[in-house]
Structure 1
Amino acid sequence: MNSAKTLYSILNVIIFLLLMGIGLGVFFFLMLLLGIKQDVVNLRVDLINFKTEAMPYVYTVLRLGVYVIFINALWNLRKATKLFLKNDFYNYKLIRVLEISGKLMIISAISAWSIDWISDVFFKFRISIGLSETTLVYLFVIAIGLFLMLISKVLNDAKTMKEENDLTI
C-alpha cells in the first residue's frame, strides 16, 4: 500500500498545482479584460490571429471547461486512492469512482484535442496531420481513462463473484 500512499500524495500535489495555475491564469486574464496594466507576466493577445474579438475569450472559456473536467477526474481518482488505502476493494463506491474518473479523463482528453485542432484551424489558419507530442499526451490520457474503466469493470466482476461465493458458503 506504499504505492497507494505515494499516488495519493502525487494526486494532491497535481491538483493543488493545477488549481493554483488556473487561479493565476484567471487572475491575469481578468486583468487583461479590465485593461489593468501589469508588468509581472508578458500577457498580450494578438487579435490579428483571431477572426473576431470574442474568439480568444471563447477559447479561454472552453479550455477552462476542459481543465475543470480534468481536475474532477483527478479528484475522483484521489477518492479511489483513498479507498484503496482502506483495503476495501469490493466497495461499490470504489468501482463507481474509478468508472467516473476514467470517463472524465476520456472526455477531457477528447475535448482538449478537439479544441486544439479547432484553434489550429480557426486561429492559426493551419491544418496539421500527424502525431505531435500533445497528440500523444491526449492519447495517453485516453488510454489511462480506458484502463481505469477496465479496472472498474474487473473490480465489479470480482465483487459479484465474491457475493456469489459468500452466498454459497
Structure 2
Amino acid sequence: MRKLNVLKACIDLAFYLSCLTVLAFVVFIPFAVLGQMDGIPIKMQGRELIVDNWQAKVVLVFALVSALFFVYGIYLLRKTIGFFLKKDVFNSEVIRNFNVIGICVITSTLLMVLPSFLYTAFHRTAMGFKLEVGFDSPLLVISLGLFFMVLSEVFKIAKNLKEENDLTL
C-alpha cells in the first residue's frame, strides 16, 4: 500500500504541474496566434518553431489540444488510483479509465509529434530524421498508451473471472 501512496503523490504532483503548464499555454497561445509574438523561437519536441506564419500557429494550437488530452489522461489516472486505494480494483470505471487513458496518451503524442514534424519538413531546407530512445521518445509514449489499453482488457477479463468465481460455491 505504501507504493500506491507514493504513486498517488507522484501522479498528483504531475497533474498539478501539468495543469500549470496548460494554464500557461492557454494564456500564451492567443498572443502567439494573434501575432503578438512574431519571430520568437519556441522549442517543441526538440524542434525549433518560429511563430511567424499560419502553419506555426496551427502547430501551437495542436500542441495546446495535445496538452489538454494529456492532462485529462493524468486526471483519469488519479481517479483510477483512488479506486485502488479503496480496494475497488475491478470496478467498471477502472476498466474504462485505463482504455481512455491509453487513447488520451496516444492522441496527445500524435497531436504533438505529427504537426511539429510536418512543419519542420515543409519549412526547413535541410531535412533529417532522428530516432529517439528515451523517456521522451514518441514511440515509447505510444507504447505506454497501448499498454494502458491492454491493461484495460486484462482487467476486463479478470473482472469476468472474479464474477464467475463468486457465483460458484
TM-score bracket, shorter-length normalisation: 0.7 to 0.9
In structure 1, list runs of 5 or more residues that go unmatched: 36-42
| Pair 1:83-2:77 in alignment | no
Relative to 1, partners in 2 of residues 1:58 and 1:89: Cα closer, same or farther, differing over 3 Å? same
More strand by share: 2
The Cα RMSD (Å) is: 2.7
More helix by share: 1
5 Å matches for 1:7-86? 7-31=7-31, 33=34, 35=36, 45=39, 53-86=53-86
Q: Which residue of the partner structure matches residue 139 of structure 1?
A: 139
In 2, the alpha carbon distance for the partners of 1:9 and 1:89 equals 19
Report how far residue 135 of structure 1 moved: 9.2
In 1, the alpha carbon distance for the partners of 2:125 and 2:12 equals 38
In 2, the alpha carbon distance for the partners of 1:5 and 1:147 equals 22
In 1, the alpha carbon distance for the partners of 2:101 and 2:51 equals 36
3-state SS of 1:132 partner: coil
3-state SS of 2:90 partner: coil
Q: Which residue of the partner structure matches residue 162 of structure 1?
A: 162
Report how far residue 127 of structure 1 moved: 3.0
In 2, the alpha carbon distance for the partners of 1:27 and 1:154 equals 40
In 2, the alpha carbon distance for the partners of 1:85 and 1:51 equals 45
Q: Which residue of the partner structure matches residue 117 of structure 1?
A: 117
Matched-pair contact (CA < 8 Å) for 1:50–1:123? no
In 2, the alpha carbon distance for the partners of 1:159 and 1:126 equals 53
Larger relative CO (CA 8 A, sep 6+): 1 or 2? 1
Larger Rg: 1
Give the number of aligned pairs: 161
In 2, the alpha carbon distance for the partners of 1:155 and 1:26 equals 36
Q: Which residue of the partner structure matches residue 46 of structure 2?
A: none
Please, what TM-score do these two structures have when normalized by structure 1? 0.81
In 2, the alpha carbon distance for the partners of 1:12 and 1:91 equals 21
In 2, the alpha carbon distance for the partners of 1:125 and 1:26 equals 31
Q: Which residue of the partner structure matches residue 38 of structure 1?
A: none
Offset from partner CA, 1:132-157 (integer Å, 9 cap, x none): 35895211211211111122111110
Please, what TM-score do these two structures have when normalized by structure 2? 0.81
In 2, the alpha carbon distance for the partners of 1:55 and 1:107 equals 20
User: Percent same amino acid among aligned pairs?
Assistant: 27
Relative to 1, partners in 2 of residues 1:72 and 1:123: Cα closer, same or farther, differing over 3 Å? farther
